[in-house]
C-alpha cells in the first residue's frame, strides 16, 4: 500500500521548476524574489539529490535482496570535483534543467559554477577512485566506496608575487550531496593495553582494554550511474568525541577548556587531508586517520555480512575489499583481529578468509612514497594490531624459511618488520602478504614492481598473484561533461551516445579522419575550447593569449620526477632562441602558449622553487615586446578537477615527461588525447600503451628508456656525463639574473649541475627540445594535425575506466553486475 505514497521523481521541465521553487521556499526558507545564483544552485542540487535518493534506495534494496557479492573500495582519497553537472548528465536531464533554470532567469553554466569542488584527494590516485565509482555505478556493479569526510580538502593554491601560498579549503559550508547518518555510529578505540588469559577451555583469549574512544559517524554520498537507475553509495566517516558532548564532569568543575579540548582532539582526526608531503611521514595523526577509517568501514562491512547469518567461511563469497595503495592496509589486521579476538575463529581459518577477501593496488615505485610506520608509534597507538602484525610476520617468515632453508638474507629482505633503529612496519609487504592479488596500474609499472621492489615476493608467492590493470578514465566526465560539443559531434556521427558506455565504438570515427566537413567542425570545437581557456587565463592572470597559438599544457602535481623543471628550462631555451633570431626568422615561428598548473606539497621546497621559476619566467617573457605572441608562459593558479574540465579540452599538445620508470601510469595523458590533443611524453606509465593503441606516428615520444635509467644514474655519480650545451646556456641565463635573483633558483640548477641530476634532466634535454621542434613542424600542417587527433580519439577506447573496472571485477573481485529490471 505504501507504494502509492512513494515520491515520484520529476521528468519534465515544469516539474523540475516546481521542485526548485519548493526547495527555495521551504528547504532553504527563502523567497523566489531574492533567489540568487547560490540559492538556485542549492535548490537545483536538492531537486536532483531527491531524484538520486529514490534510485539510491532502490539500488540498495535490490542488492540486499539479491544477496550478491559486493566490492568495497577503500580509499583515503576521492577527488570527486563537482557533483551537480555530473548528476544532471548521468540522470540524462541536463537539458530539462537548463530550460527550467532558464525559465527562472538563470544560465545553467553560472549555476554549475556555484559549486565548490569536493577536493578530497591529492591527484591521480584520488581522481582514479572517483572515476572508478562512476564506472562501478554505470556498469551496475554492487559496490561501495569508503573514505574519510575531511573538513578541509587539498589546500587551495594562491600565487602571490610568484610564490605559492596555501589557503585552507573549507568546503562543507553547504553540501547538499551528503546525507548525515546520525544513526550509524561506530566507537573506535586507540591506545590502551592488551591482556591475555586462558578461558575455561584453556584457549588463550586476548583483550584490548583501556585507551580512548572516538566516535565515527557516517555521511553518505549518492553515486549515480550514467544511463542507468543504479545509484551506489560512497560512505565517508567523520570523527567526533565519543560522549558527543562536553565531558560534564570537567564542565561542571569549571574546566571548560579541557572539556572542549577533548572534543576538538577527536574532531581533528577527520579534519584535514594530508597533502602527500614527505613531512607527513611518521605523523601519528595520519596513522590515526587510517585506523579510524579502516575500523569504522570494517565494522560496517562485517555488520552487514552478519545480518545474512552465513558461516564465516562464506565471507569472501560476499565481500571483496580493494586496498587503494597501502593507506588502508590496517584493514587486513583489523579483519584478522575481529575474526580471532571477537568472533573466536582459529588463526588459520581466519587468515584464509582475510587473504581471500583483500586485493592490493600499488600506485608508485618511488621509495620515498612507500609507507612505513615506526614500531614504537604502533605499539602505543594500536598495541593489539602490532602484536597481530608480529604473528602474521612470524607465520609468513616460517613459510619462507621452509621453502628457502638457510637464506637469512631473504628473510631479512621480505620481513614485514624492518630491523632498523627504530624498527619499522613495511605497509606494502603487509598488504602483499594479506591479499590474494596485487596489481600495478599500467603494464610497465606492473612489470617494474615485479622485477624491483616486490621481486622477492614474486618468487615466494609465484607470478600469478601479481597482475596488471591499466588505469582508465570515465568518458562521462572527461568527454561528455568537459567537452559537450565534441561529445555531441561524435554522437552525430556514431548515431547516439552509446560510445559513452562502450568507448571502443569510437573506432568508427576513424573513417571521418579525412572528411573535410567533419574536420572543420572538429577544429572549430578545439578552437572554441581554446577561446574559453584564453578567457579564463585573461580573468585569472591578466595575460592576453592568442587562441590560435599552439597551446602546450602541463598540469599535474609539481614533483621533480614529473620534470616540470625540464619543461620550463625548455621554455627558457625557446625564449633565448627567439631573442637571438632576426625579424624574418621570427615570422616563421609557430606562436606558442606554455601553460603550467599544479600544486606543490607545502613542505616540498624544490617543487615550490619550480613554481616560482615558472612564474618568474612568465613575468619576463610575457612583458617582452620583442617576443609578443610568439611565446607566452602561464601559471594557472589552484589546479583542480573543475579547472581540469576547462583546461583539458583546450590543449593542442600536453606534456607527460616523467623520468622513465617513475610515473606509475598517469591518467591526464588519457584525458588529453580523448579530447583531441596530442601528447609529448617519455616511454613511461600509460604513455607506452597509449602509443600502442593510437600508433607511434600520433605521439611525440622522446628520451631515455627505463631500462637505461640505472646506468645513467650510476654514470652521473662517477661524473661521467656531458652537460647538454643548450641546457648550459639556459643555466647561464638563470645565473645571470635574467629571471630575477639567481639565488632563488640555485637549488634547481644545482640539482642538475652538481648533485647527480637524479631525474636525468640533462640526459633527456636534447631529445626533449628537438622533439618540441618536431611538434612545431607538425603543427604547421593543420590539416594533417587535425587528422592525427581524430585518429587518436578513435583509438582511445581501451582507456575507459569501464574496461578497467570490468578487469578488476573479473580477475580480482569475482563480482557480477546487478542490472536493474528497467534496463532489461
Q: Which positions lie near ligand 26V, rule CB under 6 A? A: 123-125, 128, 276, 278, 325, 363-364, 366, 368-369, 441, 471, 663-667, 685
Q: What is the spatial distance between Cα 502 and Cα 482, in angstroms, rounded to a whole number?
A: 18
Using CB positions, name the residue nearest to ligand 26V. Answer: 124
- Tell how strand 212-224 and strand 231-241 pair up: antiparallel
Dmax over CA atoms of the chain, in Å, equals 96
Helix axes 443-451, 687-694, angle to 10 degrees: 140
Distance in Å, CB of 100 to ligand 26V, minimum: 38
Residue 524, H or E segment: helix 516-541
- Using an 8 Å Cβ cutoff, are 233 and 223 in contact? yes
The distance of closest approach from Cβ of residue 121 to ligand 26V in the complex, given in angstroms and rounded to an integer, is 9
Q: CB 452 → ligand 26V: shortest distance, Å?
A: 16
Q: Which is nearer to ligand 26V, 278 or 452 (CB)?
A: 278
SS3 state at 738: strand
Cα 556 to chain centroid, rounded:
11
Q: Are strands 156-160 and 631-636 parallel, antiparallel or unpaired?
A: unpaired
55 or 325, CB closer to ligand 26V?
325
Instruction: Report the nearest approach of ligand 26V to the CB of residue 274 (Å).
Output: 9
Nearer to ligand 26V, 648 or 664 (CB): 664
CB nearer to ligand 26V: give 149 or 363.
Answer: 363
Q: Which residues does residue 817 pair with via DSSP β-bridges, in sequence order?
A: none
Nearer Cβ to ligand 26V, position 259 or 654?
Answer: 654
Q: Which of 231, 609, 662, 667 is catalytic?
A: 667
Cell matching residue 653: 599538445
**C-beta of 370: minimal distance to ligand 26V in Å?**
9
Distance CA 68, CA 78 (A): 25
Q: Which is nearer to ligand 26V, 19 or 689 (CB)?
A: 689
> Is residue 3 annotated as part of the catalytic site, yes or no?
no
Region class of 191: left (phi > 0), else alpha (psi between -120 and 50), else beta: left
Q: Does the active-site annotation cover 562?
A: yes
| 520 is annotated as an active-site residue | no
Least spacing, CB of residue 135 vs ligand 26V, in Å: 14
Cell of 299: 565494522
Q: How far is the CB of 368 from ligand 26V (least distance, A)?
A: 5
Looking at 98, 327, 363, 574, which residue is catalytic? 363
Contact 670, 799 (CB under 8 A): yes
- Using DSSP bridges, classify how beta strands 179-190 and 212-224 pair: parallel, antiparallel or unpaired: antiparallel
Catalytic, 556? Answer yes
Residue 471: name the closest of 674, 683, 691, 665 by CA: 665
Separation between Cα atoms, residue 188 and residue 243, nearest integer Å: 12
Give the nearer residue to ligand 26V in terms of CB position, either 124 or 677: 124
Which of 69, 671, 716, 795 is catalytic? The answer is 671
DSSP 323: E
Distance, CA of 726 to CA of 755 (rounded, Å): 19
* Shortest distance (Å) from residue 72 CB to ligand 26V: 18
671 labelled catalytic: yes
Rounded-to-integer distance, Cα 181 and Cα 144, Å:
15
DSSP structure string for 101-125:
HHHTT--HHHHHTTSPPEEES-SHH
Which CB, 468 or 667, lies closer to ligand 26V?
A: 667
Checking 19-27 for CB contacts under 8 A at 24+ apart, the result is 19/43, 19/46, 19/47, 19/50, 20/44, 20/47, 20/100, 20/101, 20/104, 21/104, 23/47
Instruction: Note the Cα 28 to chain centre separation in Å.
Output: 33
**Is the omega angle on the peptide bond into residue 422 within 30 degrees of 0, that is, cis?**
yes
Question: Shortest gap between Cβ of 665 and ligand 26V (angstroms)?
Answer: 4
559 is catalytic: no
Catalytic residue among 288, 556, 592, 608: 556
- Find the catalytic residue in 562, 563, 574, 608: 562
For ligand 26V, which is the closer residue by CB, 297 or 667? Answer: 667
Catalytic member of 151, 327, 557, 612: 557
The residues annotated with a catalytic role in the active site are: 363, 556-557, 562, 667, 671
Amino acid at each position: 500500500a505504501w507504494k502509492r505514497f512513494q515520491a515520484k521523481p520529476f521528468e519534465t521541465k515544469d516539474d523540475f521548476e516546481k521542485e526548485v521553487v519548493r526547495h527555495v521556499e521551504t528547504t532553504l526558507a527563502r523567497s523566489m524574489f531574492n533567489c540568487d545564483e547560490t540559492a538556485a544552485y542549492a535548490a537545483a542540487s536538492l531537486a536532483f539529490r531527491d531524484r538520486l535518493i529514490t534510485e539510491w534506495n532502490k539500488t540498495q534494496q535490490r542488492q540486499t535482496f539479491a544477496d550478491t557479492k559486493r566490492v568495497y573500495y577503500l580509499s583515503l582519497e576521492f577527488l570527486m570535483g563537482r557533483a551537480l553537472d555530473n548528476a544532471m548528465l548521468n540522470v540524462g536531464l541536463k537539458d530539462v534543467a537548463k530550460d527550467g533554470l532558464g525559465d527562472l532567469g538563470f544560465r545553467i553554466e553560472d549555476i554549475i559554477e556555484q559549486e565548490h569542488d569536493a577536493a578530497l584527494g591529492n591527484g591521480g590516485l584520488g581522481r582514479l577512485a572517483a572515476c572508478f565509482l562512476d564506472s562501478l555505478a554505470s556498469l551496475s556493479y554492487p559496490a561501495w566506496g569508503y573514505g574519510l569526510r575531511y573538513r578541509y580538502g587539498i589546500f587551495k593554491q594562491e600565487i602571490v608575487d610568484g610564490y605559492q601560498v596555501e589557503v585552507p579549503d573549507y568546503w562543507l559550508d553547504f553540501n547538499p550531496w551528503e546525507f548525515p547518518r546520525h544513526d550509524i555510529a561506530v566507537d573506535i578505540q586507540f591506545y590502551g593495553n592488551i591482556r591475555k588469559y586462558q578461558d575455561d577451555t584453556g584457549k588463550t583469549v586476548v583483550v584490548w582494554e583501556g585507551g580512548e574512544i572516538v566516535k565515527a559517524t557516517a555521511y553518505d554520498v549518492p553515486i549515480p550511474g550514467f544511463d542507468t537507475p543504479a545509484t551506489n553509495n560512497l560512505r565517508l566517516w567523520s570523527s567526533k568525541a565519543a560522549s558527543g558532548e562536553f565531558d560534564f564532569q570537567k564542565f561542571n568543575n569549571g574546566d571548560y577548556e579541557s572539556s572542549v579540548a577533548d572534543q576538538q582532539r577527536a574532531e581533528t582526526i577527520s579534519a584535514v587531508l594530508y597533502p602527500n608531503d614527505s613531512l607527513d611521514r611518521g605523523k601519528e595523526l595520519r596513522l590515526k586517520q587510517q585506523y579510524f577509517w579502516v575500523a569504522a568501514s570494517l565494522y560496517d562491512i562485517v555488520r552487514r555480512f552478519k545480518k545474512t547469518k552465513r558461516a564465516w567461511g562464506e565471507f569472501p563469497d560476499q565481500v571483496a575489499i580493494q586496498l587503494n595503495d597501502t593507506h588502508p592496509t590496517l584493514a587486513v589486521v583489523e579483519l584478522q583481529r575481529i575474526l580471532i579476538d571477537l568472533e573466536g575463529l582459529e588463526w588459520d581459518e581466519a587468515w584464509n578468509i582475510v587473504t581471500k577477501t583483500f586485493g592490493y593496488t600499488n600506485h608508485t615505485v618511488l621509495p620515498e612514497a612507500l609507507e612505513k610506520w615506526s614500531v614504537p608509534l604502533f605499539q602505543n597507538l594500536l598495541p593489539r594490531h602490532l602484536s597481530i602484525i608480529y604473528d602474521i610476520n612470524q607465520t609468513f617468515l616460517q613459510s619462507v624459511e621452509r621453502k628457502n632453508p638457510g637464506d637469512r638474507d631473504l628473510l631479512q629482505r621480505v620481513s614485514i618488520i624492518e630491523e632498523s633503529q627504530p624498527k619499522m612496519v613495511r605497509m606494502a609487504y603487509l598488504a602483499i602478504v594479506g591479499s590474494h592479488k596485487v596489481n600495478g596500474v599500467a603494464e610497465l609499472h606492473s612489470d617494474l614492481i615485479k622485477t624491483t621492489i616486490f621481486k622477492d615476493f614474486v618468487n615466494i608467492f609465484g607470478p600469478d598473484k601479481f597482475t596488471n590493470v591499466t588505469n582508465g578514465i570515465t568518458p562521462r566526465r572527461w568527454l561528455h561533461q568537459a567537452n559537450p560539443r565534441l561529445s555531441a559531434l561524435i554522437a552525430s556521427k556514431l548515431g547516439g551516445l552509446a560510445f559513452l558506455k562502450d568507448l571502443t565504438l569510437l573506432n568508427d570515427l576513424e573513417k571521418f579522419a579525412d572528411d573535410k566537413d567533419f574536420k572543420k567542425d572538429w577544429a572549430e570545437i578545439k578552437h572554441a575550447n581554446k577561446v574559453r581557456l584564453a578567457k579564463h587565463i585573461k580573468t585569472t592572470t591578466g595575460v592576453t593569449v592568442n587562441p590560435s597559438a599552439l597551446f602546450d599544457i602541463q598540469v599535474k602535481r609539481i614533483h621533480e620526477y614529473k620534470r616540470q623543471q625540464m619543461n620550463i628550462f625548455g621554455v627558457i631555451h625557446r625564449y633565448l632562441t627567439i631573442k637571438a633570431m632576426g625579424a624574418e626568422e621570427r615570422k616563421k615561428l609557430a606562436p606558442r602558449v606554455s601553460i603550467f598548473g599544479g600544486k606543490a606539497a607545502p613542505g616540498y621546497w624544490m617543487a615550490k622553487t619550480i613554481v616560482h621559476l615558472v612564474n618568474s619566467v612568465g613575468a619576463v617573457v610575457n612583458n617582452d615586446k620583442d617576443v609578443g605572441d610568439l611565446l607566452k608562459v602561464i601559471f594557472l593558479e589552484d589546479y583542480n578537477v573543475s579547472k581540469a574540465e576547462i583546461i583539458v579540452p583546450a590543449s593542442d599538445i600536453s606534456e607527460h615527461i616523467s623520468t622513465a620508470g617513475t610515473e606509475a601510469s598517469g591518467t591526464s595523458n588519457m584525458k588529453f588525447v580523448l579530447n583531441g590533443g596530442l601528447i609529448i611524453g617519455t616511454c613511461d606509465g600509460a604513455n607506452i600503451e597509449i602509443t600502442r593503441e593510437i600508433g607511434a606516428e600520433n605521439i611525440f615520444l622522446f628520451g631515455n628508456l627505463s631500462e637505461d635509467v640505472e646506468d645513467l644514474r650510476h654514470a652521473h655519480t662517477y661524473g661521467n656525463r656531458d652537460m647538454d650545451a643548450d641546457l648550459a646556456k639556459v643555466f647561464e641565463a638563470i645565473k645571470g639574473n635574467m629571471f630575477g635573483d639567481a639565488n632563488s633558483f640555485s637549488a634547481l640548477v644545482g640539482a642538475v649541475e652538481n648533485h647527480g641530476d637524479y631525474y636525468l634532466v640533462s640526459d633527456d634535454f636534447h631529445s626533449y627540445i628537438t622533439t618540441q621542434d618536431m611538434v612545431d613542424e607538425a603543427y604547421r600542417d593543420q590539416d594533417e594535425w587535425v587528422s592525427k587527433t581524430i585518429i587518436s580519439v578513435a583509438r582511445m577506447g581501451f582507456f575507459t575506466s569501464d574496461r578497467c573496472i570490468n578487469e578488476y571485477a573479473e580477475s580480482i573481485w569475482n563480482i557480477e553486475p546487478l542490472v536493474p529490471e528497467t534496463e532489461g
